[in-house]
Chain A
């Protein structure tokens, strides 16, 4: 029994999951149970937990892509801008501002937007793998230029769309659950199968641990990186679709602003090392949910707007401390020494 528990705590997603449960529990206690309240509105589930899942879906997708990128020892800080680009393109197509011959087809809009995300990702991948620019610099180019591109597409305005089909991407429900959740589920399942059932996951970890020896071992490191960055771009594009669908419009200045940091934080909270190597996508997903539930709980507890950011930061610090092995060991040592003293 004890060994099984030990095995469980060794699992990478164990501690993040505990943290998530702790946050939810604290919320539940503070709100007197109202936090977990769920009811059915217009045939779908409605409650704070659903909010966390739906609003967290963007971050979960980004964290999925970001986990892979970080596992190769790289980083992608352009995801927020790619979100803005994909939202701008999709809304402009649906609105008929660009490519009006498509007649505002939502399917076409989604496809073109995702394609744009793939191109952005491939561009990042090319810079990192072929031209060997350091990842943070390579992706910074798109981070800076991306919003400009999005602005050009929308003429610097917020393009508003009134298509119900487009809104479904964020606000739709299947079986009473929000549609973005199914998107996340699909892609996470896909990538999990791809990394666990093929050798690709191993290639990624190997690339992250030691690219030189990986290359000598016969792994095409450059191609692995190219694929990973492209995938990350695609995830960002889909996150951008969810974001713009939720507000029925493309807000180029604010869509995904600073979300790259949240995505990296989600992966870090999930316990994947930013230096590359071993990774766990489920742990990152939990990390993303933790970040979203922090935001939701700050709103739920009615923290004053002026101190919101500080409260969030404090919670993140607490989580990081809770996850740090050294800190835990130090606390444990303190406690045992005290016990020893009191026993003596």
Chain B
């Protein structure tokens, strides 16, 4: 009897792990209508293997799938750009539904099709060596988009993505501008260990230490990138330091949106009494900026379409490109938020 119970418990644990795996990426559940549901049919649009005769730029793009609003915006940006330039660009798009094997299959079929360039947003970092080597032998350059892959540098042509450290630097510059180079601030960190959190913190803290000695970071605590935690941590900061706090730097906009609520509850005016600088550039923060409750957001741009295809064209023409093409990212301030708001797609 005892053994049986143990067996059941073990089975449950295993089942839960499998379920939990699915659960963490629930967006995968509603399979997009245009991709067949079965995994093996997913990547390859039926095309003859021969290279198309025309001079179009033929690009295969293996996207991770739907996972967040940010990624949806990236997908749309790439598809939209290709759609607008349909005379010059032939985009083969594969949705991998969060599975590496689907991405590998997609890349293999792109190689068979003889596309000019392969674009890839790797779902995981490792396990790409074999298929990248295959592409290299076929003479097709690979462009990594927004996520890196753990492979030798000669296996891919370039990486297009954000520079989190620079985002931190920009955040520090903006904070200094808002505070006239002098003041006391607090920092809301992202999830401990996340690269975006580590690098934004490094970029921000180093820049403050190096260039703005009169700005003091009173405290720094993680808000796990979520609104609820951002609010809770900010509440606590306000209790400890009160109106001493002149500015907040948050590693993402959502935490800032939570912090804004906390500031309001303390009877202070966010954006006026306490200046705000956060990262990402989501719609919500633009609404807050337009309402005068936030000051600055440092964009982390998912709209990589134009840059991606420009790079592809260069690679096709045989030009050399840099190993890391930093995505074009802007700094948006409250003054222009009302005008920017309608253009925000994520």
Docked complex: B1-29 residues within 8 A CB-CB of A? 8, 12, 15-16, 19-20, 22-23, 26-27, 29
How many angstroms between the C-alpha atoms of A308 and B72 in the bound complex? 34
Mark contacts of A126-146 with chain B using CB atoms, 8 A cut-off: 1 yes-contact digit, 0 otherwise: 000000001011001000110
* Number of inter-chain CB pairs below 8 Å: 108
How many angstroms between the C-alpha atoms of A180 and B178 in the bound complex? 36
Asked if A144 and B228 make an inter-chain contact with CB atoms under 8 angstroms apart, the answer reads no
**Within the complex, which residue of A160, A248, A252, A302 is in contact with B240, where a contact is CB–CB below 8 Å?**
A302
Asked if B266 and A299 make an inter-chain contact with CB atoms under 8 angstroms apart, the answer reads no
The reply to whether the CB of B221 lies closer than 8 angstroms to some CB of chain A is yes
Docked complex: B102-127 residues within 8 A CB-CB of A? none
Q: Which B residue sits closest to A251, measured CB to CB?
A: B227
A105–chain B nearest beta-carbon distance, Å = 22
B272–chain A nearest beta-carbon distance, Å = 16
Residues on B with beta carbons closer than 8 Å to the beta carbon of A251: 226-228, 254
How many angstroms between the C-alpha atoms of A128 and B226 in the bound complex? 33
Asked if B192 and A305 make an inter-chain contact with CB atoms under 8 angstroms apart, the answer reads yes
Segment touching A, from B31-39, B138-146, B154-162, B229-237? B229-237
Residues on B with beta carbons closer than 8 Å to the beta carbon of A248: 257, 261
The reply to whether the CB of A246 lies closer than 8 angstroms to some CB of chain B is yes
Residues on A with beta carbons closer than 8 Å to the beta carbon of B307: none
Mark contacts of A235-279 with chain B using CB atoms, 8 A cut-off: 1 yes-contact digit, 0 otherwise: 000000001001111011011000000000000000000000000
How many angstroms between the C-alpha atoms of A243 and B232 in the bound complex? 11
Residues on A with beta carbons closer than 8 Å to the beta carbon of B229: 254
**Given A144-B19, A152-B30 in contact, is the A247-B240 Cβ separation under 8 Å?**
no
The reply to whether the CB of A312 lies closer than 8 angstroms to some CB of chain B is no
**Given A249-B257, A299-B221 in contact, is the A158-B284 Cβ separation under 8 Å?**
yes
Residues on A with beta carbons closer than 8 Å to the beta carbon of B69: 156-158
How many angstroms between the C-alpha atoms of A136 and B19 in the bound complex? 14
Q: Which B residue sits closest to A256, measured CB to CB?
A: B228
Asked if B266 and A247 make an inter-chain contact with CB atoms under 8 angstroms apart, the answer reads no
Mark contacts of A8-42 with chain B using CB atoms, 8 A cut-off: 1 yes-contact digit, 0 otherwise: 00000000000000000000000000100100011
Asked if B20 and A254 make an inter-chain contact with CB atoms under 8 angstroms apart, the answer reads no
Range, interface on chain B:
35 or more
**Given A243-B228, A249-B227 in contact, is the A302-B258 Cβ separation under 8 Å?**
no
Asked if A247 and B231 make an inter-chain contact with CB atoms under 8 angstroms apart, the answer reads yes
The reply to whether the CB of B219 lies closer than 8 angstroms to some CB of chain A is yes
Docked complex: B174-197 residues within 8 A CB-CB of A? 189, 192
Q: Which A residue sits closest to B218, measured CB to CB?
A: A302
How many angstroms between the C-alpha atoms of A252 and B26 in the bound complex? 10
Asked if A254 and B239 make an inter-chain contact with CB atoms under 8 angstroms apart, the answer reads no
How many angstroms between the C-alpha atoms of A252 and B16 in the bound complex? 19
Q: Which B residue sits closest to A44, measured CB to CB?
A: B265
**Within the complex, which residue of A46, A51, A147, A249 is in contact with B236, where a contact is CB–CB below 8 Å?**
A51
Asked if B267 and A42 make an inter-chain contact with CB atoms under 8 angstroms apart, the answer reads yes
Asked if A55 and B227 make an inter-chain contact with CB atoms under 8 angstroms apart, the answer reads no
**Within the complex, which residue of A134, A137, A247, A308 is in contact with B227, where a contact is CB–CB below 8 Å?**
A247
The reply to whether the CB of B169 lies closer than 8 angstroms to some CB of chain A is no
Residues on A with beta carbons closer than 8 Å to the beta carbon of B23: 144-145, 147-148
**Given A147-B23, A156-B26, A296-B236 in contact, is the A247-B228 Cβ separation under 8 Å?**
yes
The reply to whether the CB of B68 lies closer than 8 angstroms to some CB of chain A is yes
Docked complex: B45-99 residues within 8 A CB-CB of A? 66, 68-69, 72
Range, interface on chain A:
35 or more
How many angstroms between the C-alpha atoms of A305 and B220 in the bound complex? 8
Q: Which of A140, A246, A300, A306 has the most CB of B within 10 A?
A: A246
**Within the complex, which residue of A140, A151, A299 is in contact with B16, where a contact is CB–CB below 8 Å?**
A140
Docked complex: A144-170 residues within 8 A CB-CB of B? 144-145, 147-148, 151-152, 156-158, 160
Asked if B224 and A137 make an inter-chain contact with CB atoms under 8 angstroms apart, the answer reads no
A30–chain B nearest beta-carbon distance, Å = 12
Residues on A with beta carbons closer than 8 Å to the beta carbon of B27: 151, 156
Q: Which B residue sits closest to A167, measured CB to CB?
A: B261
Residues on A with beta carbons closer than 8 Å to the beta carbon of B265: 41, 46, 171
**Given A247-B231, A305-B220 in contact, is the A140-B254 Cβ separation under 8 Å?**
no
Asked if A246 and B267 make an inter-chain contact with CB atoms under 8 angstroms apart, the answer reads no
How many angstroms between the C-alpha atoms of A117 and B26 in the bound complex? 20
Mark contacts of B249-277 with chain A using CB atoms, 8 A cut-off: 1 yes-contact digit, 0 otherwise: 00000100110010001110000000000
Asked if A246 and B261 make an inter-chain contact with CB atoms under 8 angstroms apart, the answer reads yes
The reply to whether the CB of B222 lies closer than 8 angstroms to some CB of chain A is yes
The reply to whether the CB of A295 lies closer than 8 angstroms to some CB of chain B is yes
Q: Which B residue sits closest to A51, measured CB to CB?
A: B235
Asked if B239 and A48 make an inter-chain contact with CB atoms under 8 angstroms apart, the answer reads yes
Q: Which B residue sits closest to A149, measured CB to CB?
A: B26
Asked if B240 and A300 make an inter-chain contact with CB atoms under 8 angstroms apart, the answer reads yes
How many angstroms between the C-alpha atoms of A134 and B11 in the bound complex? 13
Residues on B with beta carbons closer than 8 Å to the beta carbon of A306: 192
The reply to whether the CB of A47 lies closer than 8 angstroms to some CB of chain B is yes
**Given A246-B261, A305-B189 in contact, is the A151-B26 Cβ separation under 8 Å?**
yes
How many angstroms between the C-alpha atoms of A246 and B264 in the bound complex? 12
Residues on A with beta carbons closer than 8 Å to the beta carbon of B266: 41, 46
Asked if B12 and A136 make an inter-chain contact with CB atoms under 8 angstroms apart, the answer reads yes
B24–chain A nearest beta-carbon distance, Å = 9
Asked if A300 and B22 make an inter-chain contact with CB atoms under 8 angstroms apart, the answer reads no
Apart from A34-B240, A151-B29, A160-B287: 19 A-B pairs, beta carbons within 8 A: A41-B267, A46-B266, A48-B236, A51-B232, A51-B239, A55-B235, A134-B12, A144-B19, A144-B20, A144-B22, A144-B23, A148-B23, A156-B26, A160-B284, A247-B227, A247-B257, A295-B232, A300-B240, A306-B192
17 intermolecular pairs with C-beta atoms under 8 Å apart = A41-B265, A46-B267, A134-B8, A134-B12, A136-B12, A137-B12, A144-B23, A148-B26, A151-B29, A156-B66, A156-B68, A158-B69, A248-B257, A249-B284, A299-B232, A299-B237, A306-B192
Closest 3 CB pairs of A and B: A299-B236, A305-B222, A247-B227
A-side residues, CB < 8 A to B, are 34, 37, 41-42, 46-48, 51, 55, 134, 136-137, 140, 144-145, 147-148, 151-152, 156-158, 160, 171, 243, 246-249, 251-252, 254-255, 295-296, 299-300, 302, 305-306, 308
